[in-house]
Structure 1
Amino acid sequence: MELIAATAMHGFAELTAELGGDAEAVLTPLGLRVEDCGRTDVFVPLRHAIHAAERTAALTRTPDFGRRLALRQGIEVLGPLGVAARTAQTVGEALGILENFMGAYSPAIAVHLGDDGPREDVVFWQWRLGLDPPVRHHQTAELSLGIMLRLLRLFLGADYAPLSVHLAHAPLSAQSDYTRYFGASVHFNHTVNGFTLNAIDLTRPLAEESDSHQAAIDALVGVIDSCGSSAAQSVARLTGPLLPGGTVTVETVAKQFGLHPKSLQRRLAAEGTSFSAVIDGVRRDIAIRILRDTDVSLVQLSRQLGFAEPAVLTRACQRWFGSTPSAYRTRLRCAAE
């Protein structure tokens, strides 16, 4: 079972209600909860979230449901991943961060920026879903491209449009709807989903031009400095979603808080802990929740925790719980009965 951050469903219930639907009636049979939609500390089964979007589009007779939902979402749904992208120096670097750390949002989703054939002045950004067996995900694909369009407009200006848009499915509504929405020509039944972009746009600087960039950093620093939240708690909230990317370092996290790594380490030391201890605690808490509440395989759990292989997970569980992950899962479920 692959997961996705519940922020991916931000605005889902509200949009469904506006369209005359009942979000709870759609979500409950799928094992999802309305109150989890948009939460930053919850992961939900990706396959179920995809089904929810498809069912709602059908029940409310809204073929552009995914595109509409994207209008209610922005970089904030990506959580720490979005903040990391904002700290990039250029648009190209921001897109590289999204590519490298997309596993923090969902391990089954991948994005890639590459060349677009023989032309050196254009590049192709693509979005891929890696579920096996595959599932119909037209709404989710359009939602994802809609969110990416909003990110590009945040980085490059409100009127920005890609050179062209490519969708791997047939149009769900009039083609003119797509042209108005994306501001570019849209090609359907393509081999992949994505955008063709001007290569020169990737060189555009971000930090100096984005007013929202400093506001986001200031807000994160404020979380650390607030009396109600310790540095350790702030680091824990920030790093949990980043673990699947496998490269959570004190340098990466400190940069997102606008701090020097040594400054962050000093704050943690003053609280009687360390960066490695906080990360270990985050991994332990996530492992408990997933082993107790889901049937996620140990291979997938290892990826969720940012471990290189299941053997590392087994050693960690022996240290945390005195047993293997499988044995601990059995113990948790027996205790709940």
Structure 2
Amino acid sequence: MGYIRSAALRGFADEVTVHGGDPAAYARAVGLRPDALLADDVLVRDEAAAQLLELAAHALGRPDLGLRIARRQDITTLGSLAVAIQHSPTLGDALDCTSRYLFVHNGSLSVRLGGDPQGERGVAGLHYGPAGEGLVQGTDMGLAFAHGVITYLHGGPYGLLGVELPYRPAAEPAAYEAAYGAPVTFEAPGTAAVLRLPQALAGHRLAGVNATLRRLALAHLAAQTPLPGTGGGTSARVRAAVRESLGTGSVEIAAVARLLAVHHRTLQRRLEAEGTTFGALVDEVRRGEARRLLTGTDLPLAQVSAMVGFAEQSALSRAARRWWDAAPRAVRAGAAPDRVSWGTLEG
């Protein structure tokens, strides 16, 4: 069982409501908390999310529901990954970044740029999977979302040559062709859905790239990647949950356990088996986020304190002394001169 950020369901509630459905009732029916539909950073079971889409599509008589929801989403759905993607030098770099760090958004999905399934010269394939018969609304939504992101990064149509789906269409074929503006092949061989792209598209340079913003975003994403050989599956999920909760919600173990859909004692045992504790992970995440904010932005110290989950600035000062044997101002003063202002980060 894997987990995804609830941001992947952004637009679901609005689309369902437009068609007279009750999104909260559908969420409860598949075991999801209804409030997950109103937030971006709740961790939800991927299987439950897929079942939610199928249930709603059937109940509403909207077999193109996944395609419709994708139209309501944009690149910001990807959270911190969106910053790294938008500030990649080329579209190929953006796709490579997506392939490497997509697990932060959806731990059970993979996206990679590979060969053309038809073997045509000068054509590449963006392989999205796994995909197959059964719960297809999620794939319909996800692949159409990927198409929309590429269109956005390219600044308009990018020359999509065709789409290959390894399953029968849930909706009328015309709905798929309207969504992509290209021919769509159904029941294609393989286990991935594929966007067929011009190979030269990978070299397309993106506009408005800020190398410093990309470096900060990549550092943030890399911090969520388990070290090779450490296992750390539960630890990695806890780090991600804590990082998203800092400054916005409780970082108590009971609250994080609810996000991960496990009992807090079970979570404690799993962390102990990986040689760590919840408190140690919270401290590790706080330390990393504090250093990133101190050395990478010019945010006021009071705001940095709040963003890493401290009630008062004095708590940040004590922690900084323990972590680095230095005051927060000294840590900031010793940083490289390419700090980015918060206004730049927001823009």
The verdict on a shared fold, with TM-score over 0.5 as the criterion, is yes
Counterpart in 2 of 1:184? Answer: 182
Q: 1:39 to 1:318 in 2, by over 3 A?
A: closer
Q: 1:280 to 1:41 in 2, by over 3 A?
A: closer
The question of whether the paired residues in 2 share the 8 Å contact of 1:162 and 1:197 is answered with yes
Structure 2: which 5+ residue stretches go unaligned? Answer: 228-238, 246-250, 282-347
Counterpart in 1 of 2:105? Answer: 105
TM-fit CA distance, 1:129: 3.1
Residue 205 of structure 1 aligns to which amino acid in structure 2? R
TM-fit CA distance, 1:123: 0.8
Task: Provide the secondary structure at the position in 1 that maps to 2:129.
Answer: strand
Residue 77 of structure 1 aligns to which amino acid in structure 2? T
1:70 aligns with 2:30: no
Q: 1:113 to 1:25 in 2, by over 3 A?
A: same
TM-fit CA distance, 1:289: 4.3
CA distance in 2, matches of 1:114, 1:173: 27
Counterpart in 1 of 2:95? Answer: 95
CA distance in 1, matches of 2:82, 2:19: 29
TM-fit CA distance, 1:314: 2.3
CA distance in 2, matches of 1:185, 1:279: 39
Residue 314 of structure 1 aligns to which amino acid in structure 2? E
The question of whether the paired residues in 1 share the 8 Å contact of 2:42 and 2:259 is answered with no
1:146 aligns with 2:106: no
Residue 62 of structure 2 aligns to which amino acid in structure 1? T
Counterpart in 2 of 1:27? Answer: 27
1:57 aligns with 2:96: no
Task: Provide the secondary structure at the position in 2 that maps to 1:316.
Answer: coil
1:199 aligns with 2:195: no
Counterpart in 2 of 1:316? Answer: 276
The question of whether the paired residues in 2 share the 8 Å contact of 1:53 and 1:140 is answered with yes
The residue correspondences of 1:104-123 to structure 2 (distance < 5 A) are: 104-116=104-116, 118-123=119-124
CA distance in 1, matches of 2:278, 2:17: 47
TM-score by length of structure 1 reads: 0.66
1:125 aligns with 2:126: yes
CA distance in 1, matches of 2:23, 2:76: 22
TM-fit CA distance, 1:282: 3.9
Q: 1:51 to 1:155 in 2, by over 3 A?
A: same
TM-fit CA distance, 1:169: 1.2
Structure 1: which 5+ residue stretches go unaligned? Answer: 222-234, 248-277, 302-309, 322-337
Q: 1:279 to 1:244 in 2, by over 3 A?
A: closer
Residue correspondences, number: 257
Residue 157 of structure 1 aligns to which amino acid in structure 2? G
Task: Provide the secondary structure at the position in 1 that maps to 2:153.
Answer: helix
Q: 1:295 to 1:16 in 2, by over 3 A?
A: closer
Residue 170 of structure 1 aligns to which amino acid in structure 2? R
Counterpart in 2 of 1:39? Answer: 39
| Equivalent of 1:166 in 164, 167, 170 | 164
The residue correspondences of 1:259-278 to structure 2 (distance < 5 A) are: none
Counterpart in 2 of 1:232? Answer: none
TM-fit CA distance, 1:135: 8.2
The question of whether the paired residues in 1 share the 8 Å contact of 2:12 and 2:23 is answered with yes
CA distance in 1, matches of 2:114, 2:253: 35
The question of whether the paired residues in 2 share the 8 Å contact of 1:8 and 1:38 is answered with no
Residue 129 of structure 2 aligns to which amino acid in structure 1? R
Counterpart in 1 of 2:333? Answer: none
Q: Percent sequence identity over matched residues?
A: 23
Residue 70 of structure 1 aligns to which amino acid in structure 2? A
